[in-house]
Structure 1
């Protein structure tokens, strides 16, 4: 009953979102049937936020090798080209690569985006915490992030979002807008790093699944709004 209620709330904001575990099964099936990939030889990489709430979101983690962790705060692939190269070198012989990426956002049953009830907590908390912190700071028109070693990822995340600042602040739902902006940044960087490191792969195909993870209440399934599914032939780049 509660899951069905969440389904209605989630689809008010993300009409194409589907249960995250069902999404996993769907795309695993497409990899096997449409693209004839051997699931037993796929190494998975993730570029999702390091938030612990994202670990049980999908069943990919239970089926595929890995994951190789590329993402940091906000889901940005902070591992960069070195990380992509390392991932390329770890793929099983005669196997293939799969990269699951994107930001996440919480939602409450009352329809508040950017918030969720975390395990064993009575009050709501931010999700994604890093993106909601960035949003709070970017609302101050005089604020500019200062890159430093003590808070490197957060400052880099905020710096990456600066070109989207006006677009975010003009939105009727700023929490959703900053999440959409983060997806755009992650998507572009993943493609950039694959192109830059294509010669490091000893396999021909890399599968990408990008989108937005939508966190619900503890004990309920999350949702996933898929934005990009593609199997890249590295020989054609």
Structure 2
């Protein structure tokens, strides 16, 4: 428990250096460059993003839904999120995209899909998707939100689903064998299982800086040991347990940094599902909230994604 508290304390580091003030340190510019104002409609951008990638596969969709009911393929997710946020005033020109997703290259696909609308993203995440940038990173990110603009934060753990439906595995381009996904999460799960089921001792050492993030992932998943040991399918339950820990951290980070929010902040949290090269990736949306500049939730938008 002491290590768990230490993890939270380190992740929620002071952001005073980036705290907004009434008198901005920014210098005025006469350039007035508006990023993303290229005259291309949102509909055309969305069509272009998914035109050359994998297409919807009904059989594989059924496989994904069996393990993760309510999962949306990236095409439907991004289209619905972008269109709904557009009705709230979010555009590619006035919005900053921030993500807290795993370091795994497979996790970049969801970022790339949203990048096509909102431009390059600010990265808040690390191993397994935990927001290791903490309060300091959030403070820096909020300072980059366009003046009088918005921010969309996409966050959550990821899990692989292989072509045969195996959860926790995925096909990777150029790799012959089916690989583990998420490797960090599975390693942490095995560590916890050794403690809860095998009597192993807690060995997490957060002070080992060369592998600090993995040490933190282990510590942050420890409270879910009993839940995982009792799960019908540990690999299916694991990303939900990870999400609960990450959502707690993200909520604390956003709460502390809410003074940096400008016109509004949208939080899209859930489980990213990575698949093989020939199928669309998926996402299980678990939170889709709109917050005002005071950090107050003004609308729970999750139902809108299914419309």
Query: Smaller-chain TM-score range?
Result: over 0.9
Q: Displacement, 1:65?
A: 3.0
| Structure of higher CA gyration radius | 2
Q: Deviations over 1:166-208 (max 9, x none)?
A: 111111111121211111111111111111012233x131111
- Tell me what 2:231 maps to: 171
Tell me, what secondary structure is at the counterpart of 2:165?
Answer: coil
**2:272 paired with 1:208:** no
Q: Displacement, 1:40?
A: 1.8
Is the 1:21–1:57 Cα contact (8 Å) retained in structure 2? no
Q: CA RMSD, aligned part only?
A: 1.5
Segments of structure 2 that go 5 or more residues without pairing to the other structure are 1-54, 297-307
Tell me how far apart the structure 2 counterparts of residues 184 and 143 of structure 1 sit (CA, whole Å).
24
Q: Deviations over 1:50-79 (max 9, x none)?
A: 110111236212111331000000100000
Work out which of the residue numbers 143, 146, 168 in structure 2 matches 1:89: 143
Tell me how far apart the structure 2 counterparts of residues 39 and 121 of structure 1 sit (CA, whole Å).
36
Q: Displacement, 1:2?
A: 8.4
**2:293 paired with 1:234:** yes
Tell me, what secondary structure is at the counterpart of 1:105?
Answer: strand
Tell me how far apart the structure 1 counterparts of residues 56 and 137 of structure 2 sit (CA, whole Å).
40
Q: How many equivalent residue pairs?
A: 235
Is the 1:117–1:217 Cα contact (8 Å) retained in structure 2? yes
TM-score, length basis structure 2: 0.73
Q: More strand per residue: 1 or 2? A: 1
**2:98 paired with 1:45:** yes
- Tell me what 1:154 maps to: 214
Q: Deviations over 1:122-141 (max 9, x none)?
A: 11111111001111222112
Tell me how far apart the structure 2 counterparts of residues 83 and 2 of structure 1 sit (CA, whole Å).
36
Tell me, what secondary structure is at the counterpart of 1:85?
Answer: helix
Pick closer, same or farther for the CA change 1:13–1:91 going to 2, 3 Å.
Answer: same
**2:130 paired with 1:71:** no
**2:255 paired with 1:195:** yes
Tell me how far apart the structure 2 counterparts of residues 235 and 199 of structure 1 sit (CA, whole Å).
6
Q: Deviations over 1:187-237 (max 9, x none)?
A: 111111111012233x13111111111111113210111111011113254
**2:225 paired with 1:225:** no
Work out which of the residue numbers 56, 65, 69 in structure 1 matches 2:109: 56
Tell me how far apart the structure 2 counterparts of residues 5 and 215 of structure 1 sit (CA, whole Å).
16
Q: Displacement, 1:162?
A: 0.6
Tell me how far apart the structure 1 counterparts of residues 132 and 145 of structure 2 sit (CA, whole Å).
20
